[in-house]
Amino acid sequence: EAGVTQSPTHLIKTRGQQVTLRCSPISGHTSVYWYQQALGLGLQFLLWYDEGEERNRGNFPPRFSGRQFPNYSSELNVNALELEDSALYLCASSSDAPRTFGSGTRLTVV
Amino acid sequence: QKEVEQDPGPLSVPEGAIVSLNCTYSNSAFQYFMWYRQYSRKGPELLMYTYSSGNKEDGRFTAQVDKSSKYISLFIRDSQPSDSATYLCATPNRDDKIIFGKGTRLHILP
């Protein structure tokens, strides 16, 4: 069974640019979660999508947004990138409470 | 007070030793708990989860929950160098956001 896949694995952007990260959940999982893991801050919850709807949102500004497609894959969009957005962005999926994580996208903003 | 607290380490122990990793949590309403293992440059991998107080064993790993003192532990027996990773405890809050500890870095010395 394929796990959660994320793309790209690494990305370098400059301040002010926009970025789109992608996630494909495990087959059969309808929920997708996005987390940001910045150095020293641990895993911070960003967004939760289920059945195409945004169900919950963490304490992040509106320039962090996303969507979930009919096939349950998901995109995370970050506009007006700032240096502090540099982090590992992790996607997780679940059909129950424990989440299964992808390997993440390492975003560096310069 | 943070909802889930975890000593960041690093914790260095010799190969073969028993490892004890611990977290404390603040909300007695938390119902179940998870332990994730994260290798460098990878996403977190679910190790164990438990819904109740007491012990749950899986191979060399034992998860322990003490709800009276709001304390959760992960024990690793016969530790191996391949166990060197960051270990994160986690629990969902009432909004179903998974709250993660910041992780403990573990080094198993050959």
pLDDT at residue B41, as a whole number: 81
pLDDT at residue A62, as a whole number: 96
DSSP annotation of B97: P
Nearest to B32 among A6, A92, A97 (CB): A97
Nearest CA in chain B to A104: B43
pLDDT above 70 as % of chain A: 96
> What confidence category does residue B1 fall into, taking pLDDT thresholds of 50, 70 and 90?
low
Q: B10 versus B29: which is more confidently predicted? A: B10
Nearest to A102 among B43, B90, B96 (CB): B43
Residue B13: which of B83, B63, B69 has the closest Cα? B83
Q: Which positions in chain A touch B36 (Cβ < 8 Å)?
A: 101
CB contact burial B70-99 (16+ within 10 A = b; e otherwise): bebbbbbeebeeebbbbbbbbbbbeeebbb
Question: From the CA of A102, how many Å to the nearest CA of chain B?
Answer: 5
Nearby residues of A62 by Cβ (< 8 Å), 6 or more positions away: none
Q: How far apart are CA A16 and CA A89, in angstroms?
A: 18
Which 3-state string (H, E, C) describes A7-54? ECCEEEECCCCCEEEEEECCCCCCEEEEEEEECCCEEEEEEEEECCEE
Residue B87: which of B65, B68, B108 has the closest Cα? B108
pLDDT at residue B96, as a whole number: 64
CB contact under 8 A, B96 and A43: no
CB A2 within 8 A of CB A68: no
Q: Is the pLDDT of residue B77 over 70?
A: yes
Q: Mean pLDDT over residues A95-103, rounded?
A: 79
Query: Within an 8 Å CB–CB cutoff, is residue A73 touching chain B?
Result: no
Tokens 């495990």 correspond to A26
Per-residue model confidence as pLDDT tens digits over A19-56: 999 999 999 899 999 999 998 778 898 999 999 999 98
Q: Is the pLDDT of residue B95 over 70?
A: no
pLDDT at residue B26, as a whole number: 87
pLDDT above 70 as % of chain B: 96
The helix (run of H) or strand (run of E) holding residue B87 is strand B85-92
Averaged pLDDT of chain A: 92
Torsion sign over Cα A42, A47, A51, A52: negative
Tokens 């990793």 correspond to B21
Q: Which positions in chain B touch A100 (Cβ < 8 Å)?
A: 46
Nearest to B95 among A56, A101, A103 (CB): A56
Q: Is the pLDDT of residue B42 over 90?
A: no
Per-residue model confidence as pLDDT tens digits over B56-70: 999 999 999 998 888
Averaged pLDDT of chain B: 90
Question: From the CA of A16, how many Å to the nearest CA of chain B?
Answer: 26
DSSP annotation of B52: S
Query: Within an 8 Å CB–CB cutoff, is residue B89 touching chain A?
Result: no
Q: Which positions in chain B touch A43 (Cβ < 8 Å)?
A: 44, 88, 90, 98, 100
CB A19 within 8 A of CB A106: no
Torsion sign over Cα B72, B76, B82, B84: positive
pLDDT at residue B94, as a whole number: 66
3-state secondary structure of B15: coil
> What confidence category does residue A1 fall into, taking pLDDT thresholds of 50, 70 and 90?
low
pLDDT above 90 as % of chain A: 80
Q: Which positions in chain A touch B45 (Cβ < 8 Å)?
A: 101
Nearest to B98 among A4, A40, A99 (CB): A99
Residue type, B58: D
Q: Mean pLDDT over residues B77-91, rounded?
A: 95
pLDDT at residue A42, as a whole number: 83
